[in-house]
Each structure stands twice: as structure tokens, then as C-alpha cells.
Structure 1
Amino acid sequence: MDVQFPFPFEPYEIQKKFMSELYSTIEKYNLGIFESPTGTGKSLSICCGALQWQKDSYKKYLESLQKEIADLKQKMSSIETTDNWLEEKFEEITIKRNLIALELKLATHKKRIDSFNEMKQRVKKKEKHDVKKAIDYKNKNTDDLEVDNKENGEDKEDVDLILEECEKGSESEDEGDETEENENNDTKIYISSRTHSQLSQFIGEIKRTVFKEDTRVVTLASRQHYCINSEVSRLKNVNLMNERCLDMQKSKNKSTSVDEDGKVLKKTKTKSCTSCPYYNHSNITRLKETMLVEMMDIEDFVKCGKTLKACPYYASRMALEDAEVVLVSHAGMVSAGARSGVSLKLHNNVLILDEAHGLTAALENAHSAPVSAKQLNAVKTFLKFYIDKYRARLSSKNLLTLNQMSFVVGKLVVIIKPKSTAEKQEDTTIMTLEDFVIKAEIDHMNLRPLVEFCRKTRLAPKLHGFSMRYSQQALEEESKRTVDKKSSFKDFLSNISKKKTEVIEKVKEEIKPAIQAPTETSAGSGLYAILDFLDRLCDRSENGRVLVQRGENGLLKYLLLNPAEHFSDIVKQCRSVILAGGTMEPISEFKELLKSDGKEVNVVKCGHVVPPDNVLGVCLSKGPSNVSLNFSYENRMSKELLKEVSSILRNVCSIVPGGVVCFLPSYSYEKIVYENLVANKVIETICKKKSVFREPKSAAEVDQVLNKFAAAIKSKEGNRNGALMLSVVGGKLSEGLNFSDDLGRCIIVIGMPYPNVKSPELQEKMNYLNRTNGSGSAYYENLCMKAVNQCIGRAVRHARDYACVLLVDDRYSRPHTMAALPSFVQKSLMSNCSFGPTVGGMAKFFAKHKNSS
């Protein structure tokens, strides 16, 4: 297909191939699996290929409208006069009707183009005004928004905590219109990636192209990312945030205490507390227009929202209709609930899933519904206390349903309790859904009405408010008052009083640990988790299982064995679905996800932009002491192998310039390797050549460590020639980060990071795959190699880059393992290598590139 793509520079052949194939796949309504190695400009190729198709498609549509209008006008003028005037008039009326409809469509599109141009002018004019107007609003106004639970005091009436009667047909404000028609041919392009930081990269790539001037881009995210109201954002749990936000909107509808700038003029006391000053239509509209014109990532959009005193969450939703490109995370895309929550419509639109190697895991996580023992106990305790406290004020219907819910929660608590108090070791079993409900003794319960009741009456936020309002001290006082009342009875009631006191003391003991639990395990957030879990039980899917983990850290978790059943709906709705990634093997896994009647799957594999001579791939089988290197779980702790690791790192750091990134199978093993380096004083030798850094477990510290790592490589003080980073496979540095040029001259992967084969979840998944298509062992192998390939992809980021990839384990030399490595590594890969020749080869490799640079 001869299409010119406006790349910001002369594209490589593989980039031309990628864009051309992407364009063709979308044009033909097909599905695609695109593999392009990390560092080959995949994101930029996606943007240019997809956006060029979108612009061309829209242009063709307008041209076809104009042609149809011209043809109808021609036909109108050429209507011949006949004796049958009735037929002649009918034809004229039909042509006029069609002509009016087409002209109206064309006028609508032209009006939208003019409207967007006017919006640009409006935003540019207001920019200077907004900068001058920006004052320290936070100190002045947001203090009024901090509504502490204590401020209200202990409302004797507790009206806001009492359940109201369910109203049939009442829908949440978050639920959007389900109509999926796309009559105006406004085909949107949805681009999805694993994290929001990866989505931000697409914003940067589009800004590099000619499309930045006339493409409307919106990034969708939850209230956890977009909410700027401290009263809501401090709740942390996204479900509680959603409920609190909706409460504040209802309050706003009843109140007129906010001016056009979002300033609280009067603090009114309503049933739902203070309304949100950022939920202001005029300000949200301005923020929406700014987003569509200026193309901002999440961080910039939130800052702009604070400046304009407008809600970024609702501004992004408002902008969705006018957007041409919509960026959304995998989690927001693969969950039907998340899609409906933001009214995201897929019908006849294009979906491109980047970093698609993690799609299966994203689908499984989105439908896993875990519930911890802490959550179950918190809900059980507070639900019981809630029922006891408000028994007289609840309707008989609500009281009955609450007791049924309490019964179900109690049964779930029982099933994860250890079989005996002496048993502390965790016991994990996996059951079918039918077996689970029978074992839990809830098979006679109709769970669907219970779940719907909890959602419609908004029990979770009420239970959360109840647990926050009534602290342990308040509960003790309540219990004491109850005891005092009982003490005045006659002797024949004394035994009853004692029993009541014992029950109260027992309730207090149950409440104590729940009260001290953090917000994440509060009764409200816990009930949301339970409702999600019960939702899965209601489906009774044959491909679903329930993991039951008994013990102190008990857990219930729904397992989805076949993610394809939930992805098929997405494939059916979309015009095209494109799965793109650096390594897409095994292709069969993704073909299974894309199964569709009538749509072909186009598989495109691109090479790397880097020449084969710029990559040195080595499968190291023997160490410096000629010891066979096999880092299986049973062997890896041996002193002999740890000594070999120390020698390998010492020698590699002495000959490799710049940065060395060493990936180890787990955090625990990384700690052991580091401690061994320190104990043997090898760390001192390495530090003479390179500064040593370790991957932090806290995500907040990653940037700081990376900056220090980069600074150490750049400084080259004294005899030091770079830095060593000890990292973890599957950790924070193994995906989404670039160790280009001197940051990653050598990538070392020690051992093969196979997941724990004894894991009940993994065993169940493998057994399921063996039963269906006999691919259980292949799936296990692929989990390991996907993780390895992600580590390898951190280096060699452009055509002039060069690096050595050192795979330390004799199992890497197996033919099927080498075949699973990235193609750009395979071209120069040496297998079954001993350490001596390897060090010599590495020295020559870096000497050659030092002289050529």
C-alpha cells in the first residue's frame, strides 16, 4: 500500500513496514499481532501509522459525502418530465430528503472543524489571563473542604448511615449511555498500555509529529489519578472515592454555594456534606478545551485542573466525545465495569494494545477478585455491630437482607480459618465454583439479589462511614452504657445480663483488630472486595476457580483460567484490534485471544534497527572456575555458585565501560548475592571500577536511584568507568525503562526466573491448558522467557547503540530456549560458552566499538 507517512525523520525500513502493515490491517477491518523489538521506535510508528489512517479515512468520508451530494443534485436536475407526475414527484421528494440528510451530515462535520479552530483561539486567549489569575487557592479554600468526621460530632440521628429503601431502576450517575452507534464515522483510536507513564510516552511521540496541531487526544484515568479534592483523594480506595464524589455532586445539586470559579461562598450543611468546588461546569469545560488543544499527560492535566479549579476526572470524560485519540491503561480497557464507568464505546473504533505481552496477565488480574482475611473480619465485625445498633430503625426487608449478607460473610470467614488454633502453616486449595459454594455452605443462597441490594443501597460507603465514625473508644462507651442499664434489673435477670456482657466483650475483642487496621482493610473497602468476589460466584463460569488459602494471612481469590472469554466481546465490537509488543512469542497465545468470525489475523514481525555487529549475545554455561552454571532453585544457594557469581561480576565490571545492569531471579536472591559480595570483599574490588547500586523495593525511590546511577556513569571519577546496578527480573527496572548508550553497555541475566511450579494457581492453570490443548509446559516456559526478554530489551535502544547480553545459566543453551530469545540477540548468539573465551570476546567487542565511536 503506497501511503506516505509523515515521520519526524527518515524512517528505517522496519518502521515503514510496521506503519504500512498497521494502516492496511485497520483499513481491511482485520486484527493484528505486531512484534517490533524494544528500541525500534514502535510507539512512534504506531502513532504515525494509525493517525495517518484516521486522517485519510476521515478525508475519504468527507469526499464521499460531497460526491454523493453532487450526484444527487445532478440527478435532481436531470429528472425527466413524464406523464406520471405522481411517480416524478415521489422521486423528487426522495432525492431531496436524502440530499438534506447528507448536507446536514456534511455541515455537522464542517461545524465541528470550525468549532475546534475556535476552541484553539479561545484557549490561547485565556492562557495569559489564567496565569495572572492563578492565586494560592489551596490555602484559602481547600481548608473549608476538609470535613473531618469529628466535625459533625456523633450525630445522634445517624441519618446518613441508615440504609434507605431500594428504588427499582435507579442507576448510578457513573453509568453512561450504552448506545454504541457511530453514524458520523468519527472513528476513534484507543491506545492502551500497561502503565500511565507508558501512555505519557505516546503524548510525547504525537507531539513530535505533524499531527500535534490538529489531533484531539484525551488520557482517561480513575479518580485515584485525577481527583484534586483532598477530602475525596484521602480515601485511597477507588470505590470509596467514587461514592464520596457522587455524594458531593448530589449535595451540589441541592446547594448554590459555589461561584463560577469554584469558590465556596457559603458552607452549607446538607445530608451529603459540602459539595465539591471543583465540580463546576464552566471551569470543567475550560479544562476540557485546554486538554483537547494542548495535548497534556496526566501530570500536566492535574496541574492545569488545580490552576483552573476544575475537576480533571470529569473534564477528561467530557472531552471523550470530541477526542480522536483516547489513551487508557490495560486495566481500564480489559474490565467491562471500568469501560462502562467512563462510557467508553468501542463499536467500530480501533483498539491498539501496546506492551501486549502482559495482556493475558492484565485480563487475569482484572477478574481475580481477591478478598483477604483482614477484609472479611472487618466486614463481619462492623456489619454485625451495624445491624445490632440500628435494628429498630431498619425496615424489615433491609434487616432481613443485611442478616443474609452477614450470614454469607460469616461463612466466608469460616472457610479460610485454620483447621486448628495450633496450625499456623498456610493451607491452600483450589475448588470449582460449585464445590466452593457447597463447601462454604452458601449453595442455597441466591447471591445476585444480595450483591444488587448492597450496591443499590450503597452499603459499602455507609459501612465505611460507620466504622470511621465509631472508634474503639466510642464502642466501649456504648457497651458500658448497655451494661449499666442491665445492672438495674432484678436478680432473676442477672444471668441474662452476664451473658449480654460476655457477648459485648466478645464483640469488642473482634472489633479491636479491625479498628486498628489501616484504611485499605476498612469495612467499606473490604465490602467492595467481597461484592466483587460474590459477583464472580454468580457467573458460575466453567473456566473459573476459587483459591482458598487458610491461615493467619487467609485469602479467597477468584481465578480466571481462560481470559479469551472476556476479551472476545472487545474483539467483536471493535473495527480492528492490534496487539503490539517487543516480543510476542508465543504467537499462538495471542491468536487464541483474537479468535473472531470473519476477521483475519495479520501477524507482522519486524527486525531490529541495530546491526547484528552491535550486539554480543552469550549463553554462559561454565564459570571462571569451570563450574557448570545451573541456577535452579535447588542449586542457586550453593557457596560454589555464589562464588562464581562474585567472580563473574568482578571480571565483567573490569572490562565493560559504562553501565552494567545485572538481573537476578528475586529480591531475596539479590539480597543474598549482595551480602555474599560484601562478605567476600569482592564489593570493594568492584567499587574501584564501578559504583554499586541496588534496585529499591519502594517505587518512590526508583527515580532517585536511577539519577544517582546515571550521574555515576557520567562522572567517571578517578579509575572508575561506570556503575553496576543489581536489579530483579520482573521488578521496577525490568520493564518500561531505557538503559540506552552508556547506561546499559552490558545486560546480565543470572539464572532463569521460572515462577514457583508448586504454586496452586500455576498448577491449576497448567492443568487447564493441558486438558484443553496440551500447552501447560509451554505456558510455564513462556512465563520465564517473557520475563527474560523484557530484561534484555532494556538495552540497545537505537541504531547506533551497542551492548553485550550475558545469559548466565547452562539452560540458556537449550535449542528451544535460544529460539525464544529476541531475534536481534539470536543473530549474534554464542551458546555453551566457557568464561575465559567469553571475557576475551567481550574485551574485543568493546575495544572495537570504542575505536569506531
Structure 2
Amino acid sequence: MKTTPCEAANKYSHPYTPYQIQNELMDAIYDTIDKNYKVGIFESPTGTGKTLSIICSSMTWLRDYKRKNNFDNNQIKDRTAEEEEVREEEDEEEDSDDEPEWVKQAYKSSVLSRSKNRIKDYEVYLDTLEEEYKSNIHSGYKLKDDTRRKRIKLKSKEFQDEDFLPLDYYSDSEQNSTNSANDKIQEEVYQLMKKVDGSSKSKEVEMVNECPVNIYYSSRTHSQLNQFSHQLRLTTFKSSFDELTERTKYLPLASRKHLCINESIRNLSKNDSAINDACIDLQKTKDGCKFLPRADDPLSKKFSDLNFTEIHDIEELEEMGNSLKVCPYYSIRKGLEITEIISLPYQMLFQDSTRNILNLNIKDSIIIIDEAHNILDVLSSLYSVSISIDDLERVIKSLKFYTNRFLKRLNSGNRINLLKLIKLCQLVVKFIQESQKSNKVKLGEEISIEDIFGKSTGDMFNIHKIEAFLSKSKIAYKIESYLEKNHDEFTSSSSNPLLFKIIKFLKTLSNPVNEGKFFWDENNSKTCINYMLLDPSGIFKEIVREARCVLLCGGTMEPVSDYLNYLFPYVPKNEIKTYSCGHIVPPENLKVFRVSNHEGSELSFSFDKRENVNMIINLGLMIIKIASQVPHGMVVFFPSYKYLNRVLEVWKSQQNIFKILSSKKRILQEPQDSSKVEQILNEYTKAIKEEKFGAVLFSVVGGKMSEGINFSDELARAVVMVGLPFPNAYSGEIIAKRKFIESSTLRNGGSQSDANINSRNFYENICMRAVNQSIGRSIRHINDYSVIYLIDSRYESLRIQNKLSGWVRERLDNKLLTCNDILQETKEFFNSKLVSRLN
């Protein structure tokens, strides 16, 4: 199917011959950017080439924009809008004629020539640099200038107690007030020296990006960002000048966890926060980090330029950094100013503090958020935290142990603030205990900061100063790493160590955002204080305001109403474009059935009915019948691990259901332990290939296999959705969120009826997004085929049906079918596929 660039000479420089729906999606994205929509929401099912369509449409628009606005003879911007306005006023005052046409043309020609030469010279320079690097890579990369670095053999380090001591901490009032002034003078001197040295010292070709627009592509996981890099590598786009060849200037950003090459830091912890703190702390030491680039380091500049020689993924940047012995995390940023398209994880884009640290300028940029179905949850989790008494007591115990161990070796600033932190945690524990005794703990009920410290001396502590101490001293990773290496009983198996969790909680106490609230919740039967971002629109508003446009893209974006109501309520409806792409598979390759009953017995798995043993038995009998008709692999999704285990328990004890199903297909179950997922998937794949009747995989909505797993072809000839996976309506988080929605509706002039409808829709939408995500596993490419079974009488509701993804909804069989009808149509469907394969 792949074609050469000449054969694929299409509008968007797509590396393949695009399908019609891919052209339609690319048209929709291009128009959204070009026609100044502020927001675009795009749904494109998995298997429709979504990532390539995003790349081709956005990069084509950017190159078109450059030609029209920056480099085109007729429209070149030789003045800013303000300069033009001033010039027009001066012309009117002087009543003078415009400059002669030949003068303007000569000026434009000069600008064009300069821009062309810059691009041409830089491309030639990259050719030379790429050749030089590849020819030396096997023997160790060496520079042609005088800043060569010797290859350093890393040695495993034996940790001593001194390695776990923080630097001496002084509060702002304790520091010499002249320090900041001296630092400022030193910085000014450095900048002057930099200018003097730069003119004679730097001989590298400098590239200048005159275009004010960049593309930012953001996704949730490291693997998704790497996949984007690989897709981008397939493309070649028309140059800013027709007669030139121009590489795509792409820069992949990632955290220190993925780009740090200092083994002493990487081996310290798997936690992002700990690695960040360890890196910054190391830089403050006498020797510093041997890989950290110096000011105006040619090696760092070379690294940045090498990145542009071709499209690199994050792993390749790490390899390049190891080869050159220079830090990829810091060096990669040297190329920010000339980059066309930047990829980065959600956290780097969504937090303004991180954008400022990285110097990311999103003004007038195109922001593309992929896998955006979970953006509301991601935004909420970034600014939310939950702590229990158990968490606090474990932290208190570990802090006391560390403080006693190093008491005589800590300076007064560290010692006093650690004692204050212990006291603060004790006060929160006391507040929870007293609230429990007085029966004031009500799930979802709001808690004010005054409630926590109102009857204690806690308000005498300056929480801002304690939080500043933790941020500046970077002591958290020292404590965590010491306890991890010496005292396992204090450490947590979580990827987010408790001490960092407490720091996050203190930050919310010291600086809670207006859109967030503290409230009571429960986790594993333990009372918790939750802080949750209830209104993400305020946090996201700055991104929308700064960007030229924001595109949300995903395989399952329905229901769209939540994004409109809770993420973009301030954006006029005429500035938002929504587009749902059809599926590439022909209609005859996908069937969708609603299963409301079995042999006249209703199947309704609502919370108050799903424990009914007879209904669980009827579910098993129906799945046995489906398994008898479906060849190869079949994936069955349940609302939760708890309910899946309950169903299997009934099937094993009643009417031999489990045994009969086992005779139809080999049964495998999704593990709760993520480390065992790959093993189960391998067993499932092997069973489908080797077992006569294939296999059935019992999975959980929102679990390890409902997102990101590729169940293509024989791995999922059928997907069965059991019930509607509503979240726990009685959890503090859901109660608090629904209360917030209802109060916001009333505050904005709505009625109580409106408030109830909005609250119900929010609750249903969480469920339906999860349904859409899970059943999206069924079809993965144009030649794939599958059957989807929605088992629950509530799928008969038009309100629920309207919240299914468009490509599912349009294939939903609207006839009222009996179980026998459904099974007969299933048999005919797979028989037709067998006949077509034989032909």
C-alpha cells in the first residue's frame, strides 16, 4: 500500500494514498486552523490513520502559512502591524506618496534572498554534521573544535551517609541581602562577555525561524510520543521555498526520567520528582554534573543541531547524549527557537510553571492534544491529591527516624523546618481523628483550611515557608532515597513516594486554586482528605487564550458535551469546530447488537440489581452461546475487577457454566498486577493460534486492557460489553463534583431541574467515554471485522445510544431482536467472512 513521494503527490504530502475519510479529516483540521477557530474537537476511530492525518494537515498548513506570510514575494511581512500603522499615520501627516515600487521590490527581494540563504546554508550544515556524526559514531564522537571531551567510564557508586544529607538551608531572612544583587551583577557581566565572545568564537551556521507559529503535539504516555516521532519520520513536506529542500524541524521534549544520562541520578529513584530534585541538588555541589552543558557550550549546540539532521525519538536522544557525553535534557532546548513542531507529555504542556521553566512560548501556536478523551481526568489529577491518616502517620514516622539519625549533622534551618513539618502532619492527623469521633466525616462534604487548623496552633505555622523549604532544599528525595536504600519498612511500593505526596498536599494548603476544593473521601475503607480540581476550565484557559487554536483529537471523544461545558465554557460556540470521522471499515465488516434479555429474562446490571444470581447465570448462558458462534478471540469487558470475580464465582458454582464455557474457548483473565499483563496477553495470543476454538479474555473497563492494547484481527472477532460501568456514585469525588456542577448551574441562572440534568449527564458521560474506549478495541484497520455486543437493557435508551461513538451508533441494529435472532445474524456474519476468504 505504501507509495513513493511522487506517487503520493497529494495536497497534504501524505506518505500513503489516503482514504477518503482521511482526506476529510485532514480538510477539517486544516480548515479549523486556517479559518481561525479557537478550538477543534476531532474524533477519529483507531485504525483510521489519525496520527498521520494530524501531522500532514497541521504541517501542510504551517508550510503554506510560511510561504504566504513570511517568504512570499507578494505578502512578505517587512514590518509589524504596529509599524505599518505608525507609517500610515506619518504618510497622512506628510501627505507624501508611497515609496516607489522598485524600492519595495528591492527590499522584499533582499529579505527573500537572506531567508533563502539561511535555510540553504543550515541544511548544508546539517548534511555535513550528520555525515560527520555517523562516520565517527562507532569509534566515539569527536568534535572538530577545541572542546573535545574524553569518554568517561561510569562506575557504580557506594552510597555513604553524606550522600543523603541536604545542603544547608537558610530562610530568605537569614540570607545576606546582597546575594541577589551580586547574582544579578554576575549575570549581567556574563551576558556582556557572552556577546563579546559570541561574535568571534561561534562559527556554526545559525538558523533563524521568522515564523511566529509553532505546532505543539502532546500525548499522555512516553510510548505514544515515540509513536508520533515514528509517524512523522514517514513524511516529507513542501519547503518554505519551492526550489529548496527543507527538513522538518522537530524537537521531542521529555522529562529527566527519560533523558537524564547520569547513572547516579537515574539509579537513585524511579520517581519523577525525586529525579528532578536530585538533578538540581547535584548541580549545586562543587563538582556538579559532568554532563551538564556549560554556557555557550559548542557541544550542546552540536547536540541540538544533530537532532535536526533527521527525526529522532526520545530513546535516540538518550543514545546521542551518551555518545557525545552531554545532557540531552538541557541540550535539546537549544533548538527551541528554530523548531517547527514540538512533542511533549501532558504534564509539560498543562502546567504553566513547567512551561516557564522550559521557556516554551505557546503564543499564536497550534496546540494538538492527542488521546484527548482523558484530558479532563488528567487536568484534575495534576492538581489533585488525597491523603489518609495512614499516609500521614507513615510520613511522620519516617521523618522522625531521618531527623534523629542526622540531627547533629543538619544545620538549624533544615532541623527546625523538619520539626515544623512533623508537627504540621500531626495536626492534620488530629483533625481527622477528632472529625471521625464527632461524626463530621461525610463523603463529598467540603472542608475549609480554617477547619483543619482552627482549633490548633497550626495557623501559627507559615505553611508558605515550610513549602518553600521543601522546594528549595530538595530534601524530600534525600530522605526518600535514604529510607529506600536502608530501611524498607518506611518505603512505599507506589511510584509516587509518600513524602512527595505530602509536599503536593502542603502546596495545595498554601496556595489552593479557586477552582479546587478540600473534601472528605474514603480509600480502602480509610478516611481521606481529598483536594480536587473541580473546574479545569480555569487552569486550561491560559493555554486557549495564548494559542492560535487548540485541537483535541482522540479515537473516542463522545460524548463531546463535557468538553464544551467544562473545558471551554468561555469560548463562543461559533469559534469551536467539532468533527466525527467515520470508520474506514465497510459497513459489512462490523455489527453492533443490543442484548437486553436472555430467554425472556431481563439483563440489567445496575448497582442494585447486578448481584441477582439468576441474572448472572443468564449472562453466562448468553456468553456461552456467543462464544459458540465467534471464531478465534473474544474480549469481554466487565465494570470492575470486583464484579468480574463475583461473576466467575457464580459461574463456577452454578450449572457448570464456567466448565461449559471452558470447553468452547480457553478462558483467560486480566490480572490486577500490571507486571503480569504482558504474560497474559502472550498466553491469549498463543491460545488463539493453537487452540481449536480460540480463547476468551475477561477484562475490566478502565483496566490494563481497555486502552492502548491492540486487539486486531483474530485477537478480537467479538467484543462484549457487560453492563454500564458507572463510577461509584457514593464516592466523595463524584459527590463533590456533582455538587459543584449543580451549584454552578444555579449560580449561572439555571433552574434546579437544569442542575439535576447537568449533574446526571456528567455522571453518564464518564461511563459512556469508558464504554466507547473499551469497545474501540474491536476494529484496528480497514480489513478488520468484528461484532460488538452491548449487554444491558439500558442500552435501549436513546439517551445512552446518543452517547456512543458515531461509528458505533450508525452501525447499531435498531430492530428489536431476540437472542436467537442475534445468534443467527452472528452466525451468518462470520460465515460470510469465511466464504469471502475462500474466494
TM bracket, shorter-chain basis: 0.7 to 0.9
- How big is the shift at 1:303? 4.3
Q: 1:52 aligns to what?
A: 60
Distance 1:284 1:456 in 2: 27
2:224 to 179, 185, 198: 198
Q: 1:83 aligns to what?
A: none
- How big is the shift at 1:88? 13
Q: 1:631 aligns to what?
A: 605
Q: 2:727 aligns to what?
A: 755
Q: 1:162 aligns to what?
A: 168
- How big is the shift at 1:144? 2.5
Q: 1:165 to 1:99 in 2, by over 3 A?
A: farther
Range with bigger deviation, 191-200 or 598-607:
598-607
3-state SS of paired residue (2:308): helix
Q: 1:92 to 1:614 in 2, by over 3 A?
A: closer
1:611 to 577, 586, 589: 586
Distance 1:667 1:580 in 2: 29
- Aligned partners of 2:380 and 2:533 also within 8 Å: yes
- Aligned partners of 1:658 and 1:721 also within 8 Å: yes
Q: 1:512 aligns to what?
A: none
What amino acid is aligned across from residue 201 of structure 1 in structure 2?
Q
How many pairs does the alignment contain?
A: 751
Deviations 1:581-608 (A, max 9, x none): 2333333322232345688112223222
Q: Is 1:32 paired with 2:40? A: yes
Range with bigger deviation, 207-216 or 765-774:
207-216
Alignment of 1:272-351 (within 5 A): 275-277=289-291, 284-351=300-367
Distance 1:665 1:564 in 2: 29
- Aligned partners of 2:634 and 2:716 also within 8 Å: yes
Range with bigger deviation, 744-753 or 397-406:
397-406
Q: 1:89 to 1:811 in 2, by over 3 A?
A: closer
Q: 2:371 aligns to what?
A: 355
1:838 to 814, 822, 828: 822
- How big is the shift at 1:467? 5.6
1:243 to 277, 283, 290: 277
- Aligned partners of 1:617 and 1:805 also within 8 Å: yes
Q: 1:812 aligns to what?
A: 795
Alignment of 1:758-797 (within 5 A): 758-773=730-745, 774=755, 775-797=758-780
3-state SS of paired residue (2:687): helix
Q: 1:187 to 1:573 in 2, by over 3 A?
A: same
Distance 2:669 2:29 in 1: 40
Unpaired stretches in structure 2, ≥5 consecutive residues = 1-8, 81-93, 143-150, 185-190, 192-207, 239-245, 746-754
Distance 1:662 1:319 in 2: 47
Distance 1:99 1:460 in 2: 62
What amino acid is aligned across from residue 594 of structure 1 in structure 2?
F
Q: 2:12 aligns to what?
A: 5
Q: Is 1:851 paired with 2:812? A: no
- How big is the shift at 1:366? 0.7
- How big is the shift at 1:163? 1.9
Deviations 1:801-847 (A, max 9, x none): 22111011111111111111122222232355432221111101111
Q: 1:430 aligns to what?
A: 445
Alignment of 1:701-716 (within 5 A): 701-713=676-688, 715-716=689-690
Distance 2:659 2:306 in 1: 54
Deviations 1:465-497 (A, max 9, x none): 77679x67xxxxxxxxxxxxxxxxxxxxxxxxx
Q: 1:726 to 1:291 in 2, by over 3 A?
A: farther
- How big is the shift at 1:42? 1.6
Distance 2:553 2:739 in 1: 28
Q: 1:492 aligns to what?
A: none
1:658 to 612, 618, 632: 632
Q: 1:59 to 1:443 in 2, by over 3 A?
A: same
2:30 to 23, 30, 34: 23
- How big is the shift at 1:186? 4.4
Q: 1:676 to 1:468 in 2, by over 3 A?
A: closer
Q: 1:770 to 1:698 in 2, by over 3 A?
A: same
Q: 1:390 to 1:740 in 2, by over 3 A?
A: closer
Q: 1:518 to 1:407 in 2, by over 3 A?
A: closer
What amino acid is aligned across from residue 208 of structure 1 in structure 2?
L
What amino acid is aligned across from residue 349 of structure 1 in structure 2?
S
- How big is the shift at 1:407? 3.6
Q: 1:229 aligns to what?
A: 262
Distance 2:526 2:563 in 1: 35
Q: Is 1:129 paired with 2:163? A: no
Q: 2:503 aligns to what?
A: 531
Distance 2:282 2:403 in 1: 26
Distance 2:611 2:79 in 1: 80
Q: 2:622 aligns to what?
A: 648
3-state SS of paired residue (1:294): coil
- How big is the shift at 1:382? 5.4
- Aligned partners of 1:378 and 1:521 also within 8 Å: no
Distance 1:391 1:69 in 2: 64
RMSD over aligned CA atoms reads 4.1
- Aligned partners of 2:558 and 2:805 also within 8 Å: no
- Aligned partners of 2:68 and 2:75 also within 8 Å: no
- Aligned partners of 2:403 and 2:418 also within 8 Å: yes
Q: 1:617 to 1:393 in 2, by over 3 A?
A: closer
Distance 1:207 1:396 in 2: 55
Q: 2:253 aligns to what?
A: 220
Q: 1:848 to 1:383 in 2, by over 3 A?
A: closer
Distance 1:761 1:355 in 2: 23
3-state SS of paired residue (2:538): helix
- How big is the shift at 1:664? 0.9
What amino acid is aligned across from residue 536 of structure 1 in structure 2?
T
What amino acid is aligned across from residue 534 of structure 1 in structure 2?
L
Name the TM-score, length of structure 1 as normaliser.
0.78
3-state SS of paired residue (2:362): coil
Q: Percent identity among equivalent residues?
A: 29
- How big is the shift at 1:61? 3.0
Q: 1:798 to 1:636 in 2, by over 3 A?
A: same
Q: 1:367 aligns to what?
A: 383
Distance 2:76 2:807 in 1: 51
Distance 1:106 1:406 in 2: 66
Deviations 1:366-409 (A, max 9, x none): 11033454553354345557777888888877776665544433
- How big is the shift at 1:68? 5.0
Unpaired stretches in structure 1, ≥5 consecutive residues = 73-86, 256-271, 473-514
- Aligned partners of 1:431 and 1:546 also within 8 Å: yes
- Aligned partners of 2:44 and 2:553 also within 8 Å: yes
What amino acid is aligned across from residue 797 of structure 1 in structure 2?
R
What amino acid is aligned across from residue 121 of structure 1 in structure 2?
T
Q: Is 1:516 paired with 2:493? A: no
Distance 2:418 2:306 in 1: 47
3-state SS of paired residue (2:45): coil
Distance 1:384 1:830 in 2: 64
1:822 to 800, 805, 813: 805
- Aligned partners of 1:543 and 1:562 also within 8 Å: yes
- Aligned partners of 1:622 and 1:833 also within 8 Å: no
Q: 1:641 to 1:816 in 2, by over 3 A?
A: same
- Aligned partners of 1:287 and 1:305 also within 8 Å: yes
What amino acid is aligned across from residue 588 of structure 1 in structure 2?
S
